[in-house]
């Protein structure tokens, strides 16, 4: 469930912190969120795909750690990011 290069560039340009940013925590969280949503849709139709489910859980854990890091650094940036991504309802 890898992201296409074009979609990846769109996410980077949308969530980058500064002009040359390609790997900040914000960008990583946005990419993980995109991959998680795609994999969740895959698992809805393929319920017995346990290896993909394991990968999904690992991605969710990684996103949680990155969000925790952002929250410790700047709580306002954290709130803005989760609102933009539409996570944690």
- Residue 3 φ/ψ region, left for φ over 0, alpha for ψ in the -120 to 50 degree band, beta for the rest: beta
Considering only the top CATH level, what class is 28-89? mainly alpha
pLDDT class of 89 with cuts at 50, 70, 90: very low
Question: How do the domains of the chain map onto residue ranges?
Answer: 28-89
pTM over 0.85: yes
Identify the band that residue 1 occupies on the pLDDT scale cut at 50, 70 and 90: low
pLDDT by residue (tens digit) across 39-66? Answer: 999 999 999 999 999 999 999 999 999 9
């Amino acid at each position: 469930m890898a992201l296409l290069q074009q979609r990846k560039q769109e996410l980077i340009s949308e969530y980058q912190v500064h002009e040359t940013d390609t790997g900040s925590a914000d960008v990583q969280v946005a990419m993980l969120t995109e991959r998680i949503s795609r994999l969740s849709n895959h698992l809805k139709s393929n319920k017995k795909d346990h290896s993909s489910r394991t990968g999904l859980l690992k991605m969710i854990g990684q996103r949680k750690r990155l969000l925790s890091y952002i929250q410790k650094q700047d709580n306002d940036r954290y709130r803005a990011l989760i609102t933009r991504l539409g996570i944690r309802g």
